[in-house]
Amino acid sequence: MNQLEQQLIDEYQKGLPVCSRPYLEMANRLGASEGDVVSALSRLKQDGMLSRIGPVFNHKKAGASTLAAMAVPEDELAAVAERVNAFAGVNHNYAREHKFNLWFVVTAPDQDQLQTALKEIELSGGYKVMSLPMVKSHFIDLGFKVKWQ
């Protein structure tokens, strides 16, 4: 990883600028060009270092969401995950070592649309979706210090 990529990871695990040109603002803070920042973030995403770039929001104020899980045969996991990932409201998709081995968060503007999305994902994936709505929220600061070699 180059220095700009490391700086982006160090500085922007949280606190992304909220403005019309956030990548330009990031570039100005890091002494780079906007194009360099966009290219570096694209490389990090393409290389699997980043899964997404975007906000984390209070889902209860912004709509509806749920944690969901599916039990998928191991040999179909990648294909089903790809189909699930194609839905606009799906994020935080990951595999787990458990009977329910495909986990993801689904968001929607309201409960009715969330239920519709879950049904569509179930039909697309071919496996029953278990919905695990949040009962109580807890804030976890997910910023990590990286020790660069």
What is the residue-wise DSSP string for 96-143? -SSSS-EEEEEEESSHHHHHHHHHHHHHHHSSPPEEE--SS-------
Quick one: 75 and 120 in the same domain? yes
- The strand pair at 90-95 and 130-132 is best described as unpaired
**What digits encode the pLDDT tens for the residues 76-125?**
999 999 999 999 899 878 899 999 999 999 999 999 999 999 999 999 98
Same domain for 17 and 70, yes or no, is: no
Range of the domain at 20: 3-46
Look at residue 149 and tell me if it is in a domain: no
- The reply to whether 42 and 65 lie within a common domain is no
Task: With respect to residue 145, please indicate whether it lies within any of the assigned structural domains.
Answer: no
CA dist 99 and 68 (Å) reads 13
Residue 21 placed within a domain:
yes
pLDDT at 146: 87
Our count of domains for the chain comes to 2
- Residue 51's pLDDT is what? 80
The CATH number covering residue 121 comes to 3.30.70.3460
Q: Does residue 59 surpass a pLDDT of 70?
A: no
Q: Are residues 86 and 123 in the same domain?
A: yes
**Per residue in 1-58, pLDDT tens?**
899 999 999 999 888 999 999 999 999 999 999 999 999 999 999 998 888 887 776 6
Residue 51 CA to residue 104 CA, distance in Å, equals: 13
Q: Is residue 144 part of a domain?
A: no
Looking at the fold, whether 68 and 114 belong to one and the same domain comes out as yes
What does the mean pLDDT of the chain come to? 90
